[in-house]
Amino acid sequence: MSIPATMRAWRVHEFGGPEVLRLDTAPVPSPGPGEVLVKVAAASINPIDWKMRSGHLRGIVQIALPRALGRDCAGTIVAVGEGVSDLAVGQTVAGLADPTRHGTHADYAVLPAAQVAPIPAGVAPEAAASLGVSGLSAYIPLVEDARLAAGQRVLIHAGAGGVGGLAIQIARHLGAEVLATCSAANRAFCIELGATRAIDYATEDFVAAAPDCDVVLDTIGGETHVRSHRALKPGGVLAALSAAPIPSTPSREDIRIVASRIQATRVRLEQLLEWAASGVIRSTVESRVPFERAPDAYRVSESGHARGKIILTLA
């Protein structure tokens, strides 16, 4: 498979607003030991992308400039690094880049082989790409951290968002009763995905509407996080992603609060892709944006009101 010397990549040379995103011609990276080089077919936009672009995550993730953004993608392996024997050139895969290295909003991306899984038949590249950051961010808190079980009640904040839309479906598959917060405009979307009740966060008190929950998935932080303590029954679990800063507040002693750590592994990605192939998870891709128009996609994500997943499509 012939690999060009250069590629297109959305990079930042300095941190800042949408204007710092540049479509550069950059060298195609080479896979090192334990890595694969993927020709990207689709990549998703996640809030972490514009948080990295703006410099918000400088203290948390090492970001050397210039830097190609983007965390996840789906595509075809075009080269494998030393020691990679379980993946091969020509395989279609989905996976995540190392957050400290160049990302996936480019024609080619290097991914650690351990963070890559083959895409099963019947799953489109854009659907596979949409399961990366968001799928793991739904799966790890619900399945591994909270151990959500059949018959339990779960409240999912931002049910219409990238993480929430997948979380509703996973929770439903696990047999839980699913309640979700969203705006009035997204009620039908959340119900179609499997929520038994969609709570309008602008006009309803979710603590009153979703009492005695076994689990809350907090994708919002801030005051929503604090109020979520009261939606839990004794022994309940509040699984939180890094979102808005959480004000310090006395916690209840009879609930467990987990800051979920989102780490890609092949096993986790395989599970998500298998659910996509078997119809447990339907694609929540609501917006497809050609690669050349990536800044438009970043703007939609940064509005805080994207519905489902936004995908960059590459020729």
Ligand X SMILES: NC(=O)c1ccc[n+]([C@@H]2O[C@H](COP(=O)([O-])OP(=O)(O)OC[C@H]3O[C@@H](n4cnc5c(N)ncnc54)[C@H](OP(=O)(O)O)[C@@H]3O)[C@@H](O)[C@H]2O)c1
Interface positions with ligand X (CB under 6 A): 46-48, 133-134, 137, 157-158, 160-164, 181-183, 186, 201, 219-220, 224, 241-243, 262, 301, 304-307
Q: In terms of CB distance, is 52 or 87 closer to ligand X? A: 52
Contact of 135 with 283, CB cutoff 8 Å: no
Q: In the complex, what is the shortest distance from the CB of residue 262 to ligand X, in angstroms, rounded to a whole number? A: 4
Opening angle at CA 96, ends 94 and 99, nearest 5: 170
Q: In terms of CB distance, is 29 or 162 closer to ligand X? A: 162
Q: Would you list the DSSP string of 149-175?
A: -TT-EEEETTTTSHHHHHHHHHHHHTT
Residues 6+ apart with CB under 8 A from 57: 48, 51, 63
Residue with tokens 């929503």: 224
Q: In terms of CB distance, is 36 or 140 closer to ligand X? A: 140
Q: In the complex, what is the shortest distance from the CB of residue 21 to ligand X, in angstroms, rounded to a whole number? A: 17
Measure the CA–CA gap between 146 and 126, rounded to whole angstroms. Answer: 28
Count of CA atoms in the C-beta half-sphere (13 A) of 190: 28
Q: In the complex, what is the shortest distance from the CB of residue 235 to ligand X, in angstroms, rounded to a whole number? A: 24
Q: In the complex, what is the shortest distance from the CB of residue 94 to ligand X, in angstroms, rounded to a whole number? A: 16
Q: In the complex, what is the shortest distance from the CB of residue 27 to ligand X, in angstroms, rounded to a whole number? A: 29
Q: In terms of CB distance, is 119 or 240 closer to ligand X? A: 240
Q: In terms of CB distance, is 39 or 225 closer to ligand X? A: 225
